[in-house]
Structure 1
Amino acid sequence: MLPYPVLMDVVIRMLSAVLIGCIIGIDRDLHGKPTGMKTLGLVALGACLATMAAMGFSSHTLSVNADVSRAVQGIVTGIGFLGAGVIVQNPGQNRIRGLTTAASIWVTAAVGIVCGLGIWSVAAIATLILILLLTVGRMVEKALHRQWMRKPAEERAARAFADED
């Protein structure tokens, strides 16, 4: 059993990872994406737990440890497979969907790793940047899409054909 102060630190790290994952997931839920609050909360929690386990549940935040490095590499690789599961290609419409959701899964795992390491300032700043990017990026992409759709169909088709080369 972990000593009480260490156990409290572990619980705080896990709760912060879940909270951050849920905050990111709420954005995905609000926009009807395949992953949401529960999924990204679990991703962040899993990444946090794997990182802390590799650290031996030590409360030291920046110790250089090969075990932590291997755990982080494993998390990043494993999350890639989870993210790949939400990417869908629709050749009939010439569209690929789910890339942003896959990327948000990957970044959520990284934030979970940072929570596992106990580096709170980086976790908070990364979460703010991520939410800002998802929110502002969506508005910019919609504006760019509207601008693209105003172009004549012939110009859009010609550019799409040129982009395939």
Structure 2
Amino acid sequence: MTVSVWNELLQTFGAEFSDLSNVKEAVRALTRMVVSMCLGGMLGYEREQAGKSAGVRTHMLVALGACVFVIVPMQAGIQLAELSRVLQGLTSGIGFLCAGAILKADNAMHVKGLTTAASIWIAAAIGVAAAMGHAMTAIVATVLALVVLRLLQSLKS
């Protein structure tokens, strides 16, 4: 890249952080993204410990992605009614990702991956909660999901 391109990039991004309110907004967004990643990572860690294919990285990326899909429109000033359309698209997209985690064997009664798909789905929901500034809801949802994944598994055995 030439020096003029670098200068133009620096001016563009420098202007974004030229006033304190933009810096505060960036810190708020970063905090929400980190919270979503940490909580998603906790679910992924449990899945890895259970020997499942979708683990820490997958769950962290799903939670982060969901978080970013909500934060960016909110930063752009989107109204709540319009945000609902973003959430509908996000939910559909996560559904397709989850469908890829589900494997059906030759036997119609033997299906694998449903719980992992559900954990990916809840990781996305946790990312949305974190993005909207509802960290406590995201934390409680993570704890409840871990209860379902870990404690209820031990009751099954």
Any gaps of 5 or more consecutive residues in structure 1? 143-165
**Length-normalised TM-score, structure 2:** 0.83
Q: Check the 8 A contact 1:16/1:115 in 2, yes or no.
A: yes
User: Where has structure 1 moved over 4 Å in runs of 4 or more?
Assistant: none
Q: Which residue of 2 aligns with 1:161?
A: none
Amino acid at match of 2:143: L
* Deviations, residues 9-29 of structure 1 (Å, cap 9, x unaligned): 000000000001101000000
- Among candidates 129, 135, 146, match of residue 114 of structure 1: 129
Cα contact 1:6–1:57 (8 A) shared by 2: no
Q: Is the 8 A contact 1:17 1:48 kept in 2?
A: yes
Q: Residue 20 of structure 1 is aligned with which of 11, 25, 39?
A: 39
Q: Is the aligned partner of 1:71 residue 2:86?
A: yes
Structure 1 position 93, deviation (Å)? 7.8
Q: 2:20 matched to 1:29? A: no
The Cα RMSD (Å) is: 1.7
Question: 3-state DSSP class of the match of 1:55?
Answer: helix
CA distance in 1, matches of 2:32, 2:83: 16
> Please, what TM-score do these two structures have when normalized by structure 1?
0.79
Once residues 106 and 57 of structure 1 are traced to their aligned partners in structure 2, the CA distance between those partners, rounded to angstroms, is: 26
Unaligned ranges ≥5, structure 2: 1-15
Tell me: CA distance 1:125–1:57, structure 2 relative to 1, closer, same or farther (3 Å).
farther
2:70 aligned partner: 51
The answer to whether 1:82 aligns with 2:101 is: no
CA distance in structure 1 between the aligned counterparts of 2:113 and 2:96, rounded to whole angstroms: 13
Pair 23,57 (structure 1): closer, same or farther in 2 beyond 3 Å: farther
Q: Which residue of 2 aligns with 1:131?
A: 146
Q: For 1:16 and 1:27, how far apart are their aligned partners in 2?
A: 17
Aligned to 1:155: none
Task: Tell me by how many angstroms 1:67 deviates.
Answer: 2.2
For residues 122 and 75 of structure 1, the distance between their equivalents in structure 2, rounded to whole angstroms, comes to 19
CA distance in 1: counterparts of 2:124 and 2:108, whole angstroms: 31
Asked if residue 103 in structure 1 is aligned to residue 118 in structure 2, the reply is yes
What is the aligned-residue identity percentage? 34
Residues of 1 paired with 2:92 and 2:67: CA distance?
15
Deviation at 1:57, TM superposition (A): 5.9
